Amino acid sequence: MDADGDTTDTGVPAEIVGPPADIDDDGTVEVPSVTDQGKLRLVDSDGNTEQLATGAASGNTAMALGDYDDDGKTAVIYESASNSNSIYRVEPGGSPQRVADTDAKGVVGYGNFDGDGAKELVYVGDSSRIWYVDDDGSLVDTGYSQVGDDRGLGAGPLGDFDGDGNKRVAVVDGSSNLALIDSSGDKKLLKPDYEKAEKAPIAAANVTGDGRLEVIYLNKDTENLYYGTLDGETEPFEDSSDDPIGADFGAGVSGGVTTPSDSTGDSPSDSTAPSVSISEPVDGETYGSENVSLDVSADESVSEWTYSLDGGDNRTFDPNTETTLSNLSDGEHTVTVYAEDDDGNVGTDTSTFVVDTTPPTVTISEPADGETYESENVSLDVSADESVNEWKYSLDGGDNRTFDPNTETTLSNLSDGEHTVTVYAEDDGGNVGTDTSTFTVDTPADDTDGDGIPDSEEGDDDTDGDGTPDDEDEDSDGDGIPDSEEGTDDTDGDGTPDYKDEDSDGDGIPDSEEGSEDTDGDGTPDYKDDDSDGDGIPDSEEGDGDTDGD
């Protein structure tokens, strides 16, 4: 039957037919068939036949196609009636080869059934159970055992019927319902309002042109060909005169899986480009190395990967081995990746990223290097010549502390003495710039009375006995001369500083009497001058009398 519903009789009898394909690579589509005498033949649309083997099972069985040994040639995979119902394969011009020594009732498909990336041979075994031959040769029971076989083997091709990426076997179950079975034996019924199907071979094809497979089956009540969509719609096939089309129940339907994967299990030509994703380098990311990894993926098998860097020539690469974009200069770069599938469709993805291998130049403006500060709290002010991702500082070799230069940062409770602060600035590329400042803290001593002499030196004695301790007394010795003027010198070397000494120059005349005048104009006040009038006679000898009474 062609796309218009017109039917042609090839004139070749058959007990069972398999999926169509150009099996012998002659440019013509053939279907495998088995006669009632067990002859396995290829039949083309003109009725020409080519015998491949004898001893094939007929009746309630099924056949599949596939390049089982990866030699580029399509083989017919079938049940052998003459060898204990084992599974065999045969290529045009070749000899039958045993595939599995098992009690098979029919072979229904060859493809990636269990989702491991390798192809498996799916068949119906004893007790109407669905089994498959794993790629390691082991036989795996799916656990599903309700394949109907009243008028023929009610199992069809292996295909991705709902577009979820998982292949399932189409079956007619024991209740004449259409169902899809996965490698775990889970059953997915097509809509329950389907008209009942005959328990006979079924097929699948993209009949409606929606890109999804429909199941083709024999209607149990009308004995005519129908197709059903996954959402429950059923339609009969009609010829050019709008008459329904019937078929032999035992032989069932030949059609294989013609789209989206053909009956050999290989992908057909498509026009959809792979969807490509660049995971590394990340678009918009900054990298601190001149060497950046190239990591990519696609949503389908890719025959050739190439990339172009910054508009340069395309370079072939293999994503399964490490690929590095090397010796990149600082600045912005763009990489475009191209993935070509087996049908020549090319998908692309582009990533623009930045390489920055230069660390920031950091400047500490406060505390200034070599500066002395009279406070135990010193501000930390810094800057850099580029954007900084993270700022840290270390004080006197301690742990690194994170800080934000945009908010006030203070180095607090510093002891008197030398200190060193080191600042670290890390940019988006992970490059770290540093600056260091060494400074001194020298906090002034307490001076309660403000005389310029620290409290710690004056102490809490009361030298002049006026009831005020010296560290609070502006004239500790009560001589009328402020401590701030007398200072901490010891003019007469008697061990008592002038601000506590009532006779600073030791001339026997009290400071209170001599005063702070400079009688002889020699720059030394009289209370510190042992010759106040500069006459060469010490004050201690002249005394404090007034000989001439003036």
- Rounded Cα gap, residues 149 and 172, in angstroms: 8
φ and ψ at residue 539, rounded to 5 degrees: -60, -35
Q: Do domains 276-355 and 362-441 have the same CATH topology?
A: yes
Q: Mean pLDDT across the chain, nearest whole number?
A: 87
Q: Name the phi and psi angles at 386, rounded to 5.
A: -155, 175
CA nearest neighbour of 201 among 255, 120, 272, 135: 255
**Per CATH, which fold does 362-441 belong to?**
Immunoglobulin-like (2.60.40)
- Of 270, 167, 131, 152, nearest to 211 by C-alpha is 270
What is the residue extent of each domain of the chain?
16-236, 276-355, 362-441
pLDDT grade for 21, boundaries at 50, 70 and 90? confident
Count, residues in the chain: 550
Amino acid (one-letter) located at 544: D
Q: Which residues contact 25 (CB under 8 A, 6 or more apart)?
A: 73, 74, 92
Question: Position 31: which residue type?
Answer: V
Q: Would you tell me which CATH number, out of the four given (2.40.240.10, 3.30.750.24, 2.120.10.30, 1.25.40.10), belongs to the domain 16-236?
A: 2.120.10.30
pLDDT digits (tens, 9 = 90+) for 151-181: 778 887 888 887 777 889 999 888 888 889 9
| pLDDT for res 225 | 84
The pLDDT of residue 192 = 55
- Taking CA atoms, 35 is separated from 152, 373, 385, in Å, by 14, 108, 87
pLDDT at 358 over 80: yes
Per-residue pLDDT, averaged over 284-302, amounts to 94
Q: Which residues, at least 6 apart from 320, have a Cβ–Cβ distance to it below 8 Å?
A: none
Ranges of beta strands (E only) in 135-250 are 139-141, 155-159, 168-172, 178-181, 187-189, 203-205, 214-218, 225-228, 234-236
Is residue 86 a contact partner of residue 44, using CB atoms and an 8 Å limit?
no
- Name the percent of the chain lying above pLDDT 90: 49
69 or 337, higher pLDDT: 337
Residue 260: predicted pLDDT: 37
Report the C-alpha gap between 31 and 34 in whole angstroms: 10
Write the pLDDT tens digit of every residue in 244-263.
887 655 555 655 554 334 44
**pLDDT at position 127, please?**
86
- The 8-class DSSP code of residue 358 comes to P
Q: Could you tell me the CA-to-CA distances from 350 to 3, 276, 278, 403, 534 in Å, in that order?
A: 43, 9, 7, 37, 99
How far is 273 from 24, CA to CA, in rounded Å? 30
Phi first, then psi: give them for residue 355, nearest 5 degrees.
Answer: -105, 125
Task: Annotate 227-260 with three-state secondary structure.
Answer: EECCCCCEEECECCCCCECECCCCCCCCCCECCC
Write out the CATH class of domain 276-355. Answer: mainly beta
pLDDT, one tens digit per residue, over 318-330 is 999 999 999 999 9
pLDDT(115) > 50? yes
pLDDT of residue 5: 60
Instruction: State the pLDDT at residue 60.
Output: 81
Interval 464-478: pLDDT, tens:
899 999 888 888 888
Structure tokens at 532: 């106040």
**pLDDT tens by residue, 524-542:** 998 888 888 888 989 888 8
- For residue 167, give the nearest of 260, 70, 302 by alpha carbon: 260
Q: How far apart are CA 44 and CA 177, in angstroms?
A: 32
